[in-house]
Protein backbone atom coordinates (compact mmCIF):
# COMPACT_ATOMS: atom_id res chain seq x y z
CA UNK A 1 0.00 0.00 0.00
CA UNK A 2 1.40 3.40 -0.90
CA UNK A 3 2.17 5.92 1.79
CA UNK A 4 -0.49 8.38 0.55
CA UNK A 5 -3.29 5.82 0.47
CA UNK A 6 -2.13 4.48 3.84
CA UNK A 7 -2.58 7.94 5.37
CA UNK A 8 -6.08 8.24 3.88
CA UNK A 9 -7.08 4.79 5.16
CA UNK A 10 -5.81 5.65 8.66
CA UNK A 11 -7.91 8.82 8.60
CA UNK A 12 -11.02 6.87 7.62
CA UNK A 13 -10.32 4.16 10.20
CA UNK A 14 -9.81 6.81 12.88
CA UNK A 15 -13.14 8.41 11.98
CA UNK A 16 -14.86 5.00 12.13
CA UNK A 17 -13.49 4.21 15.59
CA UNK A 18 -14.13 7.76 16.84
CA UNK A 19 -17.78 7.43 15.83
CA UNK A 20 -17.87 3.96 17.48
CA UNK A 21 -18.92 2.28 14.24
CA UNK A 22 -17.93 -1.36 13.84
CA UNK A 23 -16.56 -2.71 10.58
CA UNK A 24 -19.77 -4.71 10.21
CA UNK A 25 -21.92 -1.58 10.63
CA UNK A 26 -19.75 0.27 8.12
CA UNK A 27 -20.17 -2.66 5.75
CA UNK A 28 -23.95 -2.41 6.09
CA UNK A 29 -23.86 1.33 5.44
CA UNK A 30 -21.41 1.24 2.54
CA UNK A 31 -22.47 -1.90 0.68
CA UNK A 32 -18.99 -3.41 1.03
CA UNK A 33 -18.31 -6.62 2.92
CA UNK A 34 -16.83 -6.57 6.41
CA UNK A 35 -13.92 -8.71 5.17
CA UNK A 36 -13.20 -6.17 2.40
CA UNK A 37 -13.14 -3.30 4.92
CA UNK A 38 -10.89 -5.32 7.24
CA UNK A 39 -8.42 -6.02 4.43
CA UNK A 40 -8.36 -2.34 3.48
CA UNK A 41 -7.81 -1.17 7.06
CA UNK A 42 -5.02 -3.69 7.72
CA UNK A 43 -3.22 -2.78 4.50
CA UNK A 44 -3.61 -6.18 2.85
CA UNK A 45 -5.72 -4.68 0.07
CA UNK A 46 -5.31 -1.42 -1.81
CA UNK A 47 -8.82 0.07 -2.03
CA UNK A 48 -10.22 1.00 -5.39
CA UNK A 49 -11.53 4.53 -5.74
CA UNK A 50 -15.18 3.48 -5.74
CA UNK A 51 -14.72 1.31 -2.61
CA UNK A 52 -12.91 4.13 -0.85
CA UNK A 53 -15.64 6.65 -1.74
CA UNK A 54 -18.33 4.21 -0.51
CA UNK A 55 -16.53 3.88 2.84
CA UNK A 56 -16.00 7.63 3.18
CA UNK A 57 -19.58 8.55 2.37
CA UNK A 58 -20.89 5.92 4.77
CA UNK A 59 -18.98 7.82 7.48
CA UNK A 60 -20.62 11.11 6.44
CA UNK A 61 -17.39 12.39 4.87
CA UNK A 62 -16.74 13.52 1.32
CA UNK A 63 -13.77 13.25 -1.02
CA UNK A 64 -13.10 16.62 -2.61
CA UNK A 65 -10.50 17.70 -5.16
CA UNK A 66 -8.97 21.07 -4.35
CA UNK A 67 -6.62 23.04 -6.60
CA UNK A 68 -3.12 22.72 -5.20
CA UNK A 69 -2.65 26.47 -4.80
CA UNK A 70 -5.83 26.67 -2.66
CA UNK A 71 -4.90 23.77 -0.39
CA UNK A 72 -3.25 25.95 2.32
CA UNK A 73 -6.38 28.11 2.51
CA UNK A 74 -8.67 25.08 2.74
CA UNK A 75 -6.48 23.48 5.42
CA UNK A 76 -6.52 26.78 7.35
CA UNK A 77 -10.31 26.90 7.27
CA UNK A 78 -10.51 23.29 8.43
CA UNK A 79 -8.07 23.93 11.28
CA UNK A 80 -9.92 27.06 12.38
CA UNK A 81 -13.21 25.15 12.44
CA UNK A 82 -11.83 21.95 13.98
CA UNK A 83 -13.06 22.86 17.45
CA UNK A 84 -16.54 23.68 16.14
CA UNK A 85 -16.86 20.22 14.57
CA UNK A 86 -15.43 18.22 17.45
CA UNK A 87 -16.72 20.11 20.50
CA UNK A 88 -20.20 18.81 21.31
CA UNK A 89 -20.90 21.85 23.50
CA UNK A 90 -20.08 24.28 20.67
CA UNK A 91 -21.93 24.99 17.43
CA UNK A 92 -21.89 21.33 16.42
CA UNK A 93 -23.96 20.62 19.55
CA UNK A 94 -26.89 22.20 17.72
CA UNK A 95 -26.49 19.63 14.95
CA UNK A 96 -26.25 16.75 17.41
CA UNK A 97 -29.53 17.87 18.99
CA UNK A 98 -31.09 18.44 15.56
CA UNK A 99 -30.22 14.93 14.36
CA UNK A 100 -31.57 13.43 17.58
CA UNK A 101 -34.84 15.37 17.34
CA UNK A 102 -35.37 14.54 13.65
CA UNK A 103 -34.76 10.87 14.44
CA UNK A 104 -37.27 10.95 17.32
CA UNK A 105 -39.87 12.72 15.19
CA UNK A 106 -39.46 10.10 12.47
CA UNK A 107 -39.84 7.30 15.01
CA UNK A 108 -42.96 8.82 16.59
CA UNK A 109 -44.79 10.27 13.61
CA UNK A 110 -43.24 8.59 10.58
CA UNK A 111 -41.22 10.13 7.81
CA UNK A 112 -42.36 12.99 5.61
CA UNK A 113 -40.93 14.99 2.73
CA UNK A 114 -40.56 18.06 4.96
CA UNK A 115 -38.75 16.11 7.68
CA UNK A 116 -36.43 14.59 5.06
CA UNK A 117 -35.67 18.09 3.72
CA UNK A 118 -34.94 19.35 7.25
CA UNK A 119 -32.50 16.47 7.84
CA UNK A 120 -30.82 17.15 4.48
CA UNK A 121 -30.40 20.87 5.22
CA UNK A 122 -28.96 20.18 8.67
CA UNK A 123 -26.43 17.77 7.09
CA UNK A 124 -25.36 20.50 4.65
CA UNK A 125 -25.21 23.29 7.23
CA UNK A 126 -23.17 21.09 9.57
CA UNK A 127 -20.29 21.28 7.06
CA UNK A 128 -20.03 25.08 6.74
CA UNK A 129 -18.94 27.90 9.00
CA UNK A 130 -22.01 29.74 10.31
CA UNK A 131 -22.30 33.17 11.88
CA UNK A 132 -23.69 33.61 15.39
CA UNK A 133 -26.92 34.89 13.85
CA UNK A 134 -27.24 31.77 11.70
CA UNK A 135 -26.50 29.52 14.69
CA UNK A 136 -29.15 31.34 16.70
CA UNK A 137 -31.64 30.76 13.88
CA UNK A 138 -30.79 27.05 13.85
CA UNK A 139 -31.16 26.89 17.62
CA UNK A 140 -34.64 28.44 17.34
CA UNK A 141 -35.67 25.81 14.78
CA UNK A 142 -34.34 22.99 16.96
CA UNK A 143 -36.22 24.39 19.97
CA UNK A 144 -39.42 24.66 17.91
CA UNK A 145 -39.15 21.05 16.75
CA UNK A 146 -38.32 19.89 20.27
CA UNK A 147 -41.54 21.56 21.51
CA UNK A 148 -43.58 18.82 19.81
CA UNK A 149 -42.53 15.89 21.95
CA UNK A 150 -45.83 14.15 22.58
CA UNK A 151 -48.24 15.69 20.09
CA UNK A 152 -48.07 15.31 16.32
CA UNK A 153 -46.11 18.13 14.75
CA UNK A 154 -48.25 20.21 12.35
CA UNK A 155 -47.17 20.01 8.73
CA UNK A 156 -47.14 23.82 8.58
CA UNK A 157 -44.44 23.90 11.29
CA UNK A 158 -42.35 21.37 9.37
CA UNK A 159 -42.81 23.26 6.10
CA UNK A 160 -41.88 26.58 7.73
CA UNK A 161 -38.78 25.08 9.37
CA UNK A 162 -37.72 23.44 6.10
CA UNK A 163 -38.25 26.75 4.27
CA UNK A 164 -36.09 28.71 6.73
CA UNK A 165 -33.33 26.10 6.51
CA UNK A 166 -33.55 26.07 2.72
CA UNK A 167 -33.21 29.87 2.58
CA UNK A 168 -30.16 29.70 4.84
CA UNK A 169 -28.63 26.91 2.77
CA UNK A 170 -29.25 28.80 -0.48
CA UNK A 171 -27.76 32.01 0.94
CA UNK A 172 -24.59 30.15 1.91
CA UNK A 173 -24.34 27.98 -1.19
CA UNK A 174 -25.10 30.81 -3.62
CA UNK A 175 -23.81 34.07 -2.18
CA UNK A 176 -24.93 37.20 -3.96
CA UNK A 177 -22.01 39.14 -5.33
CA UNK A 178 -22.07 42.90 -5.73
CA UNK A 179 -22.85 43.85 -9.32
CA UNK A 180 -19.83 44.68 -11.44
CA UNK A 181 -19.74 47.11 -14.29
CA UNK A 182 -19.55 45.66 -17.76
CA UNK A 183 -16.56 47.84 -18.62
CA UNK A 184 -13.62 48.91 -16.52
CA UNK A 185 -10.93 51.43 -17.29
CA UNK A 186 -7.86 49.90 -15.77
CA UNK A 187 -4.31 51.05 -16.40
CA UNK A 188 -3.33 47.42 -16.88
CA UNK A 189 -5.37 47.06 -20.08
CA UNK A 190 -2.90 47.85 -22.88
CA UNK A 191 -4.80 46.05 -25.60
CA UNK A 192 -6.29 49.24 -27.07
- Summarised one tens digit per residue, pLDDT across range 98-156 is 888 888 888 887 888 988 999 999 988 888 888 888 888 999 999 898 887 667 788 88
What residue spans define the domains of the chain?
3-58, 68-173
Read out DSSP for 3-19?
HHHHHHHHHHHHHHHHT
Fold that domain 3-58 belongs to in CATH: 434 Repressor (Amino-terminal Domain) (1.10.260)
In the chain, how long is the greatest CA-to-CA distance?
73
Length of the chain: 192
Give percent above pLDDT 70 in the chain. Answer: 81
Residue 87: predicted pLDDT: 39
Distance CA 70, CA 50 (A): 25
- Name which of 59, 142, 62 is nearest 104 in CA terms: 142
pTM reported for the whole predicted model: 0.47
Residue 85: predicted pLDDT: 46
Distance CA 43, CA 23 (A): 15
Residue 88: predicted pLDDT: 38
Amino acid sequence: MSYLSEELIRTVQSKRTQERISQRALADRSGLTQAHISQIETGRLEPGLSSFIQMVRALDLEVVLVPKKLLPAVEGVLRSNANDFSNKEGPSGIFVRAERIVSKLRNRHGSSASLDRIAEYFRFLKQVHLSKTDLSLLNDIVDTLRGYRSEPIPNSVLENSAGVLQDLRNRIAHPVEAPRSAYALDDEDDDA
